[in-house]
Structure 1
């Protein structure tokens, strides 16, 4: 059997070697190695999570329509891409769903219960006040509602998107990129329709749902996209980053969200498949990697830290200084909460998922 063997240098660059004769079991091993974890994408997620604090701090001190949608769209593209790689390693849907439940829900339940406890003890709440009845707390913990912790609307959308990711991955593998282009086109068309965008109620917004499908498409076609960009990779990466930042500061209309999705997709593809070395080294810094590892819990808990920071940082007549102080203090307050959640809630459940994955992989590679 003939197969292209992919080798990786220390910096993660991929080089294609000449075709060689290998066994079927070796092919399976190579496929798994190609789809291994990409630390730079995790670091990118960490930067996006920290940037959300800046967006929300800006909204606390100014009358603005800036909402922090841009980093959320980036989260969605990353999820579609990373979960497609997971499905490519193991397309057992029951196993995939079990891993998603163990990955998403424990930390989400923890932050909702913490907020319920803080409200009971001190009257503390986020936003405009919430219903802390046992039934509503349960709905928030299950991410069906998100009025207790507003930013969790994106997790409601992520749960809703899980079957979309599975179906588009299977469709893309079976029928090729055309089915993914069609799905993105349909979902983008629907993003202009208000009742569809707010179908799940509350703060949710389904307008960027196609960003997950875009991530799936990058799994299949991202390498070809990067090869087409060729030697202009660094220029394209800079343009994509600037465009994402610019769009994040605009009113979030359907075309703006599309530009956010496209620029996020370019960044993900270039980091995953490109040969960027200069600017991208920022993602290799230990502190950035740290925030990448705690990014999920950081996103869940950041409104607690920011709410306290805003009270400390408010300086009459100095809105920009207040914003900067609240960002710094908000990050400092959120970081230990996020680390604690990662260490004592996320990691034990991730370990359970890995035991299942490794057991399945061992069976896969020995048969």
Structure 2
């Protein structure tokens, strides 16, 4: 039996994703222009927790696994494939590439488009992990429904323990890292028990939110060890719970600003495209002997260069394919009703 539940869209969480996507630019600009171990993992961990939460809500709305997987395919792959093809075309026309020159043979381009490899566009490692995590999210959601949140806590503990093991963390190869896999399960846990957590926090919402932001920023500036990644996931989970289940919270009004909402809408394409913008911005914005000024200027230029590209991708690739996914869901629903009526 398919279970259907009505859950409202949460625009502040989309806006939070936009802020995280923009912050990745600053992290990557710092890594490009200075000798640092800061990698930008913290915003990605936030993405993972948010994905676990949002996808659990999607399953709660309608727990049809086939429909869920189809929607994930229409959501993730079209924009990612477009960026891989764009980089392939830029390399063929101008010799342009990101990082170390990858293999642009047709077979490797296909592997990148299918998110099996990510050497053409490095940031797509996180999309590989997200696709790998999809069955984990599904199992976590249905496991929590059957056995309660205690199962999710146990799963998080097991995955955290595995994150110390190098072969596990780097199982997918390249830049990919499975150490934050528990963040997806934590997102599902926030969906299941986040309201109780927020009720427990009580009137200390503002202090808790501020503390979570400080902790996330602090951890983002540290070497990304397994305990640091866990702290990033926990602080991200706190923020997501407070935003989702404390809508009257004044401290989050920044997320209601139209400009922030705009970056939330284009955040996926922005993340996929930002290394192209960063490569161009670094050539313009680097000032010899002024590393901090170079980072700030490069970050601003990258955002300005990437945002229009991301909007085009969102408007003409993401939106149409998301609409196709919704029509597919509607068609399945109608077909199911017809069969049930018979």
Q: TM-score, normalised by structure 1?
A: 0.89
Task: Using the TM superposition, give the Cα deviation of residue 238 of structure 1 relative to its aligned residue in structure 2, in angstroms.
Answer: 0.5
Moved more, 270-279 or 104-113: 270-279
Task: Using the TM superposition, give the Cα deviation of residue 352 of structure 1 relative to its aligned residue in structure 2, in angstroms.
Answer: 1.1
Specify which of 66, 87, 96 is matched with residue 124 of structure 1. 96
Partner residue in 2 for 1:72: 44
Q: Is the CA contact 2:243–2:249 (under 8 Å) kept in the aligned structure 1? A: no
Q: Does residue 356 of the first structure (1) align with residue 328 of the second (2)?
A: yes
Q: State how far apart, in whole Å, the 2-side matches of 1:249 and 1:120 are.
A: 37
Q: TM-score, normalised by structure 2?
A: 0.96
Superposition pairs of residues 109-188 of structure 1, within 5 angstroms: 109-188=81-160
Q: State how far apart, in whole Å, the 2-side matches of 1:183 and 1:278 are.
A: 34
Q: Is the CA contact 1:107–1:297 (under 8 Å) kept in the aligned structure 2? A: yes
Partner residue in 2 for 1:23: none
Q: State how far apart, in whole Å, the 2-side matches of 1:177 and 1:142 are.
A: 33
Specify which of 182, 203, 209 is matched with residue 210 of structure 1. 182
Q: Is the CA contact 1:234–1:276 (under 8 Å) kept in the aligned structure 2? A: no
Task: Using the TM superposition, give the Cα deviation of residue 315 of structure 1 relative to its aligned residue in structure 2, in angstroms.
Answer: 1.1
Task: Using the TM superposition, give the Cα deviation of residue 360 of structure 1 relative to its aligned residue in structure 2, in angstroms.
Answer: 5.4
Unaligned runs of 5+ in 1: 1-26
Specify which of 252, 264, 267 is matched with residue 236 of structure 2. 264
User: CA deviation digits over 1:274-309, x for unaligned, max 9?
Assistant: 145322000000000000000000000000000000
Q: State how far apart, in whole Å, the 1-side matches of 2:67 and 2:289 are.
A: 55
Q: Is the CA contact 1:301–1:338 (under 8 Å) kept in the aligned structure 2? A: yes
Task: Using the TM superposition, give the Cα deviation of residue 132 of structure 1 relative to its aligned residue in structure 2, in angstroms.
Answer: 0.6
SS of 2:175's equivalent in the other structure is: coil
Q: Does residue 290 of the first structure (1) align with residue 246 of the second (2)?
A: no
Task: Using the TM superposition, give the Cα deviation of residue 223 of structure 1 relative to its aligned residue in structure 2, in angstroms.
Answer: 0.3
Task: Using the TM superposition, give the Cα deviation of residue 89 of structure 1 relative to its aligned residue in structure 2, in angstroms.
Answer: 1.0
Query: More relative contact order in 1 or in 2 (CA 8 Å, sep 6+)?
Result: 2
Specify which of 46, 53, 56 is matched with residue 25 of structure 2. 53
SS of 1:231's equivalent in the other structure is: coil
Task: Using the TM superposition, give the Cα deviation of residue 90 of structure 1 relative to its aligned residue in structure 2, in angstroms.
Answer: 1.0
Task: Using the TM superposition, give the Cα deviation of residue 178 of structure 1 relative to its aligned residue in structure 2, in angstroms.
Answer: 1.2
SS of 2:204's equivalent in the other structure is: helix
User: CA deviation digits over 1:314-351, x for unaligned, max 9?
Assistant: 11111111111100000000001100000000000011
Partner residue in 1 for 2:253: 281
Partner residue in 2 for 1:319: 291
Q: State how far apart, in whole Å, the 2-side matches of 1:264 and 1:319 are.
A: 29
Partner residue in 2 for 1:85: 57
Q: State how far apart, in whole Å, the 1-side matches of 2:264 and 2:12 are.
A: 9
